[in-house]
Amino acid sequence: MADESTQSIVVDAPPEDVMAVIADFPAYPEWANAVKSTEVLDEFADGKAREVKFTLDAGPFKDVYTLSYEWASNGLSVEWNLVKGQMQKAQKGQYLLSPEGDGTRVTYTLSVQLAVPMIGLFRRKAEKMIMDIALKELKRRVEGG
């Protein structure tokens, strides 16, 4: 897998509130601008998503893809991997939550490999832009803004 990019943000809410928003895939189109639709394809016994299909429209980058999720038993992290996609050959990511004061530090790690070759510098810039937008939208959603 290619190099990973990592970014973090502090959200003014406890980890369980942040994870509740992360785990609520049907609501993503309401707050994640590039996500046009989501469909939970499979769930674990506890009701958390095991596989989710996304339809993404981020301007020049459009894709329909499915991610497989693994949830930490302590409720502080979730990891995912690409099952299949049109524009992506691979995607690996993680949200790691850690309490910080009255809030939560959310650390987002992402690595995407596109089906079409892309120079590493541009790929990393794209990953950082995706993460920056995702973290800001997540913060806004959790904090009720």
Delineate the domains of the chain, giving CATH numbers in brackets.
5-142 (3.30.530.20)
- Model confidence over 84-102: pLDDT tens digits? 999 889 999 999 999 999 9
- Model confidence over 108-141: pLDDT tens digits? 999 988 877 766 666 677 777 777 878 899 999 9
pLDDT at 87: 86
Distance CA 59, CA 66 (A): 19
Query: Could you tell me the CA-to-CA distances from 28 to 34, 57, 73, 102 in Å, in that order?
Result: 9, 13, 23, 25
Question: pTM higher than 0.85, yes or no?
Answer: yes
pLDDT at 118: 64
